Amino acid sequence: MKYAERNGKRYEEINRQDQFLEKLYTTQWGRILLKPLTCRTVSIIGGKLLSTSLSRLAIHPFVKMNHIVLEDYKKTTYRSYNDFFTRQIKPEKRPFCKDPNAFISPCDGKVSAYPISQHTNFKVKHTWYSVRTLLRNPKLAAKYKGGICLVFRLTVDDYHRYCYVDDGHKSKDHAIPGRFHTVNPIANDFVPVFKENSRVYTTLYTEHFGPVVQVEVGALMVGKIHNYRGECDIKKGEEKGRFEFGGSTIILFIQKDRVKLDPQLLENTLDGYETKIKMGETIGWAKHIRPSN
């Protein structure tokens, strides 16, 4: 995988998760295993096993392998691996700019940025997708023509809770059932990943960036996407929900002329690099500042 830091550093890195997924999706035995592994029932069973007290035995090896700094998180006794995986970070470890015109990242992850073309198509590594196929809502998709698509890919070492990008009001959640294929880009050569994955989307009617559609995408071994509330008023930086075990993805659709995105994100994506981001980091600014009433 090719990564970029916000300071301009670029590098390639292959971790164990990437190696495993490459074998799963590119070898004959891997593809034989893929069908049962992506079955909803298998994912649910796996999620239940990771919620047992016995699963705590996996916590220490995971912390060591992924260099997790436990001091960054709220101190607690973990009842299971899933309890550990959904751990809460200390607020000061994910600060966010209080300027209302700052557009912040909703989560930790590796972000790719795409202008939504006149055909409303965008590319995720080697596979083309559209806003329409993700949302299954042509009327809503049409509103984001000429805007920006942001894809945040979370890996197992990332913080798996996510927040709201602005004050405003959110619509009800729309759930789209699917199969739990991995969101790792390796899979995109073989499976239409985002078309198959279970996902939930909502429209955030934000005060400073207009309507923003946020999509949470489940992945292999992710049994649940937890969004805490339905239609409600929201606050910037407030926790929106969390994923259980596995790599996952959050996608944002922003309308045309609403956000001036950090050009570095677009440049990195164009060059084939994902940019590493933390929840709360400023990644853009309101393009048109509205006067207060």
pLDDT by residue (tens digit) across 239-254?
Answer: 999 998 766 889 999 9
Q: How far apart are CA 229 and CA 3, in angstroms?
A: 34
Q: What is the mean pLDDT of residues 201-206?
A: 97
Q: How far apart are CA 153 and CA 167, in angstroms?
A: 24
Rounded to 10 degrees, the C-alpha dihedral 182/185/191/196 comes to 50
In this predicted structure, the answer to whether residue 22 has a pLDDT above a threshold of 90 is: no
Active site annotation includes 108: yes
The residue among 224 and 279 whose pLDDT is bigger is 279
Q: What is the mean pLDDT of residues 212-231?
A: 83
Q: What is the mean pLDDT of residues 196-206?
A: 89
Q: How far apart are CA 85 and CA 66, in angstroms?
A: 12
Domain boundaries, the chain: 1-293
Confidence of residue 134 (pLDDT cuts 50, 70, 90): confident
In this predicted structure, the answer to whether residue 220 has a pLDDT above a threshold of 50 is: yes
Confirm if 275 and 2 have CB atoms less than 8 A apart. Answer: no
In this predicted structure, the answer to whether residue 167 has a pLDDT above a threshold of 50 is: yes
Active site annotation includes 198: no
Q: How many CB atoms lie within 10 A of CB 119?
A: 9
Given the residues 108, 158, 166, 262, the one annotated as active site? 108
Given the residues 43, 105, 112, 248, the one annotated as active site? 248
What is the pLDDT of the chain when averaged over all its residues?
A: 85
Confidence of residue 75 (pLDDT cuts 50, 70, 90): confident
* The model's pTM: 0.86
